[in-house]
Structure 1
């Protein structure tokens, strides 16, 4: 069976609907009400209705890999507050060892790549744009042996010049450029509040998660290890709903609207005063993120539409070009360039691929590990990665 050109909704209709093409898993044919309920509730963590139009494969991967149900918190709590994830500590240790051996790197550079190298040009030119004291931007060019672009695929449109200054050729291949330009970016908005852990001394049936078919589709209470304080993700709006609430950019105004919605949802429950618990510790403890408005993201993450698996594949396997010594020296590396956009796993896979390719091109791989390098294990297939 093939679902490469199916949306999530059309594929579910083929599998579970009244006109199903195969024996229905579980033997229960879905009614239209079932499709609506699944769109609202999903598998218990939130509805999939907002992404019914996404490619079936893009959503199916998340479910098969357990990313909607088998999760872990990497952050840790210390006396100094919430700390970076352990995997970042490990990366810093490895990077420090490389630095001690002479590697020079620069992180978090806001810049535009004006030359990607390639051919006889063994360097990359980037135009950095630091801000001066008076707020004006001052362009500063620098050369590097290699550049890794770590941002969303949509933001990469603004991180790469149309053509390289040194070769007058596109910095990335036409297939990769198509992926950067055309791959769908999900719209998402989130409102967090930092609050007392009001749920910690409540009865066992006190709701930690609220799902609804209203403008507040999901609300989650989050415990990050502090004995007294936690976070509440009061809305996690997707696609059309995110686009709707983009007009509300005052976090306190949106909080007020959502508390009214919570009050309506919970008024006939065992906890009709639930909304009264939703008070931030201070006025500054309300955080609103509209990802489509973030100038370094332009959306939450990539989520392929039907037929876009090839676009994802072209970006995911771009690291393989380093086997060609005349190739561009610019790599793209983010969760948006993987088959698992939006997840830590999606960010780690391209990072692993890129690092292995860099070692093969400019250094060496430990013979014990060489047989497990992505260049050996992975072929450029949209479905066998």
Structure 2
């Protein structure tokens, strides 16, 4: 893994820092953030130094970001995916994952404390993402960071693992001894799904590219099929209780459906709600998507006796705590191939677009804690104060 450290930055003016009276809850009114002012290529991303940090709402936590990951969703949103939803809300801050320290908490937050290291992920539709020095997440979107991994390593995990968790645990309800097929096990969600299923005691097969075979086998897959060189249906023996399709094209859907036992679950990450809303607008697109999903569910239930689902990441505090436990036990990880500084966000997106990064993400490293502590000491006796 190659790491590029961020450049030092000058401490922000004292007027930018605010502190709750009688506590160490110090946070900023503005910070650096990467904005998406319009849709397009990596060149549209803008690093700005004075982006407002909103007041915390009940149950919210201000996280001083140490590392964030670049998800496929980020590059798709930048290019216009979900335009019907997000265009009226521009400029956006992209980013779902974060690892860092708690900088401030709302009064109702009980499970976390200021200064604690945490990691977590925002919902896919969040408008203020994590590409910023300070991110805001709800209490149930965060968990203490696994002590066994760095911030860079931790930032790669939550969104992908929670997406896989929702599919396997909430939808398919996988159990020990069942058979799972992961289509696209080389990507972050697929790789997380393999490890989560193995931890439960499932027998896992997966498809992936040649470069990922050794990695998915080391993660516990019992069979890895190179989809570029082998006939998947001819190579795989037997059928499965669940199929997680991270690719979601017509051919992988056909294969997944054909390889399921009756009573099994087919889950795809490529639901069509956003695409149809972009095509027809929200008032028409969402009802069309709902009708299409219902049609497929009925069709596959009566023709094949299986459950069909579009699956998305959702906040799940129980799931995130289990993900943390598995990470600390060495049973779950998402490899990080390269890191970038926040000032290199365009280069990071270019690398992701060109697929020069084998693993799904790159990480952005933020300013060192030393500068925050320096600022805090400077402003300790002369700050504006307000309650959270």
Q: Which TM-score applies when normalising by structure 1?
A: 0.20
Higher strand share: 2
Structure showing greater Rg:
1
Higher relative contact order (CA 8 A, sep 6+): 2
